Amino acid sequence: MADDPFALFDAWFAEAKAVEPNDPEAMALATSTPDGRPSVRMVLLKGHGPEGFDFYTNRDSRKGAELSANPRAALLFHWKSLRRQVRIEGPVDVLPDAESDLYFATRGRDSQIGAWASDQSRPLANRDEFEQRCEEIRRRYDGQDVPRPPRWGGFRVTPDTIEFWSDRAHRLHERRLFTRTAGGWTEGLLYP
């Protein structure tokens, strides 16, 4: 048994990056409204370590609004080619603007333009409307860097629990649960 869930995650993530054919950094993000109505969608992991797991989005989107109202989330990595999953649950914090600025600057120009043009999660009359907004933003920032929109930025999930699931024959799976304590982490097994 390991005593550091982040070292184990690093090892599993490295294996996933080596063999997973598409987006090994893809993770399901589950949020809920203050009254407990759940919602889940895929996002991309953009940073991780002992401080937590980072992703970026439009903070005015449905997930952003839910995280603002109820700052707790669950993440799920499913690496089918490795027959493994990692589940993470914990509180969520907004990343500092400086960190969001640094990451935004690394995104492709079209992704930067899309961040300005999209009212993510809001109704859209037709695709042409969105494409026209993208073209307006392209013209606005022609020949210059595209700054980060104020409503766009990062979140960090700081885990209270991290579960490592390994597929086994006959559904006799292995489940290792790490739980944060005041002194570090405890580890135990769960029935499959």
Give me the CATH number covering residue 67.
Answer: 2.30.110.10
The average confidence (pLDDT) of the chain is: 95
The residue range of the domain holding 45 is 5-105+150-190
Share of the chain above pLDDT 90, in %: 91
How many domains is the chain partitioned into structurally?
1
pTM (predicted TM-score):
0.94
pLDDT reported for residue 28: 98
Whether 52 is covered by a domain: the verdict is: yes
Report d(CA 186, CA 38) in Å as an integer.
28
| Given the residues 151, 171, 175, 176, the one annotated as active site | 171
pLDDT reported for residue 35: 92
The answer to whether residue 109 is catalytic is no
State which amino acid sits at residue 6.
F
Whether 180 is covered by a domain: the verdict is: yes
Beta-carbon neighbour count of residue 129 at 10 Å?
11
pLDDT at 2 over 80: no
Whether 145 is covered by a domain: the verdict is: no
| DSSP tag of 169 | G
Whether 165 is covered by a domain: the verdict is: yes
Whether 117 is covered by a domain: the verdict is: no
